[in-house]
Structure 1
Amino acid sequence: MSAIGVAVALAAGMLVTLTPTAAHAAAGASLPFTSVEAESATTTGTKIGPDFTQGTLASEASGRQAVRLASGQRVEFTAPRAANAVNVAYSVPDGQSGTLNVYVNGTKLAKTLAVTSKYSYVDTGWIMGSKTHHLYDNARLLLGQNVQAGDKIAFEAANTQVTVDVADFEQVAAAATQPSGSVSVTSKGADPSGQGDSTQAFRDAISAAQGGVVWIPPGDYKLTSSLSGVQNVTLQGAGGWHSVVHTSRFIDQTGSSGNVHIKDFAVIGEVTERVDSNPDNFVNGSLGPGSSVSGMWIQHLKVGLWLTGNNDNLVIENNRILDTTADGLNLNGSAKGVRVRENFLRNQGDDSLAMWSLNSPDTNSSFENNTISQPNLANGIAIYGGTDITVKNNLISDTNALGSGIAISNQKFLDPFHPLAGTITVDGNTLVRAGAMNPNWSHPMGALRVDSYDSAIEATVNITNTTITDSPYSAFEFVSGGGRGYAVKNVNVTGATVTNPGTVVVQAEAQGAAKFSNVTASSVGVAGIYNCPFPAGSGTFSLSEGGGNSGWSSTWSDCSAWPQPGQGNPEPDPGRNLAKGRPATATGSQDVYTPGKAVDGDANTYWESANNAFPQALTVDLGSSQAVRRLVLKLPPSAAWGARTQTLSVLGSTDGSSYSTVVGSQGYRFDPASGNKVTVTLPGGTNVRYLRLNVTGNTGWPAAQVSEVEGYLTSS
């Protein structure tokens, strides 16, 4: 087996990249900051998660965990390095804004960190399966002093609830000085206070500096309309923390002769919703051949870079792209020799990085050594068609809802589309907690997906040296997502380490074939292989043994039911909890107390319904009809949960639409002195797929509450 060159762990909440072997470079970008997870810090608040349920705060968080602070509560980080600046990923309730007080080694700073929901809670009803998403935002602060590794930096919610996810600690360099011979935008009348409109000053400086450098000094600059006709010029700032341009549309042009270089400043917009017809992007269109974008801080836009036309040999490197309501970057056809590398992307509302071969193919272009965190609606990296494309040494974590970590796909969206061709190289990538439950399919997408959505995969797809850790569902998926049974062919998976996939290692749902060599797996959730092409009868998928594989030889045996995490193979084990890990829905829920908490195997987490709205119902899909004889219902065992009686009935259904009463309504007393659990015996001959608890009262709280629903085949 070829050596896997990187390992990623969460040690004390910090993302740690271990020393690579000589086989290939480490995955991810070389970043100027170190991130620390809030759940690993000291807090007087409440830790939430982990959770993988679409549309919840924990599921959209880095690490699928965060810390919720009520007003007056704080979270205290230990600085991992020398730093003078911090960027915090956070969420506040919809419609609210406030501040975080900041403390260094116990001393409160005069500065505060503003937090707001203004750029969060995005709705995209036209995207099938989407829910309100984009729950987090990022806010940055220059501390005004240096801290050292080991110092304590605390954030305190001052006047609103704040959920803190992760903090990035950075040593920001002093502002750069003006290059000799450059044209400063202030010499053309730009206002560095941010009060006046600097649009015309930027245009005049660009005209005056043809073949040279436009200098953007430290300050804040407001542009009220986009720039166009930008060519043969360098736009350069004093650094992304020092020179800041405020605009939602920076460059918008259909073509350029090229040689445009944009570097070392920030562009921060005011985009609060996704409107696809609006060019609310940092760059919309073309920079022209031989151009580059580097050292940029790009935030609060629809898309970072939406690139069409001639962008041959463009280099995009060492940038931060945060909080976009749609893609971070999209090479929208015609890209030749484009290199996108060493970038950091967090909190995208669609694909973080995408190539889409519309009108003409993207060719000989690559995404290399990028770090991607928390795309909250689609994929970390998506390749939609194109010829001879490379995806190499990227680190992708915490994808959500409609996305995989990496998708190699023939989904066309529009015509004329150019499907995958030549050789697609997917090498040295690390995927952590990647993959998500697709609400349209009612089963998940894997951490790495090859998808013959609109046409068969005819290209050669080589997937090598891959590390997949803690995927909530499967590791590798082969599917025809459009449901028309197109083949996935010519796939080679060589050298992969898969650890702790929630369900299976290989999820095959298309006809076709793939060869696996030196793929090792451990702590597999359910079975090694799910091989059930869709639609049924569309053909078979062949897994060819190339040698060196281990840990994933078993096969899921029931194509009528998708395996759920923790479920195990569907043998009739009378001691198995039939409800654990199964899909759960409810008539209502409160905040993070979602239905999935009632089937996650953890009695300390719980579902709580809407308040003062009885009756309330919780429904669990067992996947297939089962002869259930006993339910065990639990509340958290903590003595803090006083005894209470809940009045409920048990209903059952075989089809999910027609329900009948299995056990009539009665009161069940939950008492922490006896474990806070009750047993409900179901009559013999009860065969149900869907179990429903219908709760009409609770003496301890004006809502239904259940921490675990357990279903068993035996009566005792």
Structure 2
Amino acid sequence: MVHHRSTHTYVPRTRRAQVLVGGTAAVAAVLGLVLSAPSHQAAAALAPTGPVQAAAVKAAASGATLPGMVEYEAEGAQASTNGKLIGPDYTQGDLATEASGRQAVQLTGQGQYVQFTLTAPANALDLHYAVPQGASGKLSVYVNGTKLSTELSLTSAYSYISTGSIAGSKTHKLYDDVRLRLPAAVAAGSTVKFQVDAGDTALPYTLDVADFFNIAAPATQPAGSISVVSDGADASGSGDSTNAFRTAIAAAASAGVPVWIPQGTFRITSALQVNKATIVGAGSWYSQLATNEFINNSSAVSGPVNLSGFAILGSTVGRHDDSTANAVNGSLGTGSDVDGLWIQDTNVGFWLQYGNSGITVQNSVVLSTDADGLNFNGNAANNTVKNNFLRNTGDDGLALWSMPAPDTGNTLSNNTIVQPTLANGIAVYGGSGNTVSGNTIADTNALGSGIAVSNQAFLSPFTPLSGTTTISNNTLVRTGALNPNWGHAMGAIRFDSYNSAFTNATVNVSGNAIDYSPYEAFEMVSGGGSGYAVTGLNLTGNTVNWTGTTVFQAETTGSAQVSGLAATNVKVAGTYDYGYPNNTAGTFAFNQGSGNSGWSTSPVLTTIPAPTSLPPTGPPPGTGTPPTSAPPTTAPPTTAPPTTAPPTTAPPSGTDLALHAAVSDTGHTQNYTAANTVDGDANTYWESTDNAFPQSLTVDLGATRAVGRVVLKLPPATAWSARTQTLSVLGSTNNSSYTTLSASAGRTFDPATGNAVTITLPSGTSTRYLRLTFTANTGWPAGQLSELEAYAP
């Protein structure tokens, strides 16, 4: 389901730059919005020192507790590395931004590693990683210094999601997960190392976090159950087990006994319709279903459909809102229990509609979905979602969406949601009597808050908020993000009268801890731009520790009762209170009770402030071995390219011999790969490994050809400052011995003249391989190039 966060005009933020960001003309004109978006290099310097919140959110008092699971950050206390630390960063679409704790470690060459020292025994692991777009490869694993015979297989195939229909979205969901059962259990104090060895070529590898598990022995088959293998299922994963599952489920339903999925991998090629069943596996690390969609009940079923102890491992490429390629789709009926599933790389984890009541979803893991982790899409009553771990969802982590009928009486409790890459950690869209309690939410990205309570309809018929909604005892860490459509930030907790006012609705917000919000803690807004009122808010006993801006940001009319709100380390005094569409300050009423401290409604600000610094990241200092490398300290350029600027000059006449040719480099930063230089798009670019000159870029023309000149380009937007890069051009017919075709010299790229440099080669030049070697750049400590074009004489 497409959740259009806003249809406001998108003004792109630029990479490595400090810029003013505007929202829609109407909203900006009325609200006077001005927000300076700090560069990510500056963020690290501005972060306060001293003890900070641990990035490993599993340590939080609220959230999920999965038996035997311990999480370790690559930049954390139990890690050591000779790789490169990236981040902290809050820039949309950046690898560090989408990392847990806003930091990760990159391995850019052979021999680089991240090593974890375990604090608890483990026999299995899941690695959260990224490789460049289009890349795949292996990564070596060592346990206590001994290399395992099995390497991890890493791929970008299920990452790099683009959603052009969603305003303001950029390519996102940059990470994925790979899991491995260790050949033997390892004790606490053991080391597990991920290292780039010979043949591990998907550089750079970005490692974010490793989850280690001490999993129990596989469960045994329940007495009287019917095994899918007895009906012909293939546990090797080679054959199609769909019909065997259908047969076993039908037979078990008739006999009133469970269906058993033994150890193995079973391939399901078309979704099953299941009216009533109990389907049990040996455990989510032992019983695996290779499918994008296991159950699709396209109308209400009686239920219960009980599911436990198996994994659904998908392979969806891109987001498909017109598809039902969701691990569990439609209806589970009444009274179902879903316990101990593992869902990964599907479009959505659970998309539950057509009537679901009294269902419990618990103790499960949902990773790297293209859209929501779990969404009750209307007609949902008295369901419980508890003690689940969700990370890297491509939309809301957990959502209640009252379309086409209200969601009522549902409870989302004690879940951990990390790194939703496009939307909210938890969202309540309409409905009544719903509760969000005891959850931990961390590191939200663009177009989302930690928790949203909203009347955004998306589609009709929609049931707005009514009755009482409860938001209590949640922990929010580094939540809230800059909305590129609005040109200003979404709060850690957002109350949004997007399509209609909060009428006959009470929202009780109590006992929540908001820590290290990059912008404001609480936001009251009418995101559709119509100024509908937000009323019925009761905020009691909440705490705020560290904000990038204010405690409250009110952008519409309405009122809230606030008592017992203790705030510390607030970066901007006072409250933003400027109610659209009245064009006057103070249109939102804060009715203060007792026990408030550390904040005030005075002075009333009429311009949304920029954050004076960004939040702390990573684990508490002094508690472990830090990474041995650090981000570059060289100051970034003052400007950088937008992502969608049209070319300002026409290409030279003739055929570009290098267009779409094979290309390689000696190193690159994040996803700014060599392939960008031969894709015919001057707006994408290669950037070599920072602070590591010399760096080379080599293009294979496919055959020895006569070449008269090369044309080198940087993105043509005027946002790029002029810079001089020192480089040479070399040629070879065998990719072994190279001849200098143009000696090393400074080449000036100036946006005023199209940001292009033409180098004429000696008469009679014939070459198959063209190599550029960069040794300096006045604009950034790396080689940069958007297009390498080669032309015949």
TM-score range, shorter chain: 0.7 to 0.9
1:504 Cα deviation after fit: 1.0
| Separation in 1, partners of 2:399, 2:210 | 27
| Separation in 1, partners of 2:138, 2:459 | 44
2:779 corresponds to which residue?
704
Residue among 245, 260, 277 paired with 2:289: 245
1:28 Cα deviation after fit: 3.7
| Separation in 2, partners of 1:299, 1:199 | 19
Contact 1:70-1:160 within 8 A present in 2 as well: no
Contact 2:488-2:608 within 8 A present in 1 as well: no
| Separation in 1, partners of 2:669, 2:447 | 22
| Separation in 1, partners of 2:353, 2:717 | 51
Contact 1:264-1:294 within 8 A present in 2 as well: yes
**Further displaced range: 458-467 or 610-619:** 610-619
| Separation in 2, partners of 1:284, 1:150 | 42
1:509 Cα deviation after fit: 0.8
Contact 1:190-1:198 within 8 A present in 2 as well: yes
1:573 corresponds to which residue?
none
Contact 2:550-2:572 within 8 A present in 1 as well: yes
State the percentage of identical aligned residues. Answer: 49
Contact 1:266-1:297 within 8 A present in 2 as well: yes
Contact 1:528-1:551 within 8 A present in 2 as well: no
SS at match of 1:470: strand
| Separation in 2, partners of 1:703, 1:612 | 16
1:535 Cα deviation after fit: 3.0
2:317 corresponds to which residue?
272
Cα deviation 1:227-265 (Å, max 9, x = unaligned): 01x123100000000000111111111221111100000
**Further displaced range: 278-287 or 28-37:** 28-37
- Cα distance change on mapping 1:166 and 1:528 into 2, 3 Å: farther
1:33 corresponds to which residue?
69
Residue among 49, 54, 57 paired with 2:92: 54
| Separation in 2, partners of 1:645, 1:114 | 42
1:654-693 mapped onto 2 (5 Å cutoff): none
Residue among 402, 411, 420 paired with 2:465: 420
1:347-386 mapped onto 2 (5 Å cutoff): 347-386=392-431
- Cα distance change on mapping 1:54 and 1:544 into 2, 3 Å: same
SS at match of 1:209: helix
SS at match of 1:532: strand
Contact 1:105-1:153 within 8 A present in 2 as well: yes
1:527 Cα deviation after fit: 2.5
1:553 Cα deviation after fit: 2.2
Contact 2:574-2:603 within 8 A present in 1 as well: yes
1:80 corresponds to which residue?
119
Cα deviation 1:174-231 (Å, max 9, x = unaligned): 1111010000000000000000010000000001101220000000000110101x12
Residue among 461, 472, 495 paired with 1:450: 495
Contact 1:645-1:700 within 8 A present in 2 as well: no
| Separation in 2, partners of 1:248, 1:435 | 31
1:612 Cα deviation after fit: 5.1
| Separation in 1, partners of 2:58, 2:371 | 28
1:436 corresponds to which residue?
481
Contact 2:641-2:715 within 8 A present in 1 as well: no
1:487-498 mapped onto 2 (5 Å cutoff): 487-498=533-544
SS at match of 1:56: coil
1:303-314 mapped onto 2 (5 Å cutoff): 303-314=348-359
- Cα distance change on mapping 1:15 and 1:80 into 2, 3 Å: farther
Would you say 1:564 and 2:632 are equivalent positions? no
Q: CA RMSD in A?
A: 3.0
* 2:302 partner amino acid: S
| Separation in 1, partners of 2:446, 2:211 | 25
* TM-score between both structures, scaled by the size of structure 2: 0.72
Cα deviation 1:78-128 (Å, max 9, x = unaligned): 112100111010000000001110011111111111110011000000000
| Pairs aligned (count) | 600
1:339 corresponds to which residue?
384
| Separation in 1, partners of 2:574, 2:476 | 18
| Separation in 1, partners of 2:319, 2:716 | 37
1:15 Cα deviation after fit: 3.7
Contact 1:613-1:703 within 8 A present in 2 as well: no
Would you say 1:505 and 2:551 are equivalent positions? yes
Would you say 1:183 and 2:226 are equivalent positions? yes
Contact 1:616-1:704 within 8 A present in 2 as well: no
**Further displaced range: 218-227 or 583-592:** 583-592
- Cα distance change on mapping 1:466 and 1:701 into 2, 3 Å: same
1:193-212 mapped onto 2 (5 Å cutoff): 193-210=236-253, 211-212=256-257
Would you say 1:159 and 2:201 are equivalent positions? yes
1:705 Cα deviation after fit: 2.6
Would you say 1:192 and 2:230 are equivalent positions? no
1:213 corresponds to which residue?
258
SS at match of 1:39: coil
Residue among 259, 271, 275 paired with 1:231: 275
Cα deviation 1:284-307 (Å, max 9, x = unaligned): 110111112110001111011111
Residue among 579, 588, 611 paired with 1:533: 579
Cα deviation 1:480-539 (Å, max 9, x = unaligned): 111100000010111111111111111111100111111111111222411122234378
* TM-score between both structures, scaled by the size of structure 1: 0.79
1:62 Cα deviation after fit: 0.2
| Separation in 1, partners of 2:380, 2:139 | 43
**Further displaced range: 398-407 or 147-156:** 147-156
Cα deviation 1:414-450 (Å, max 9, x = unaligned): 1111001100000000000101000000001000001
SS at match of 1:111: coil
1:546 corresponds to which residue?
593
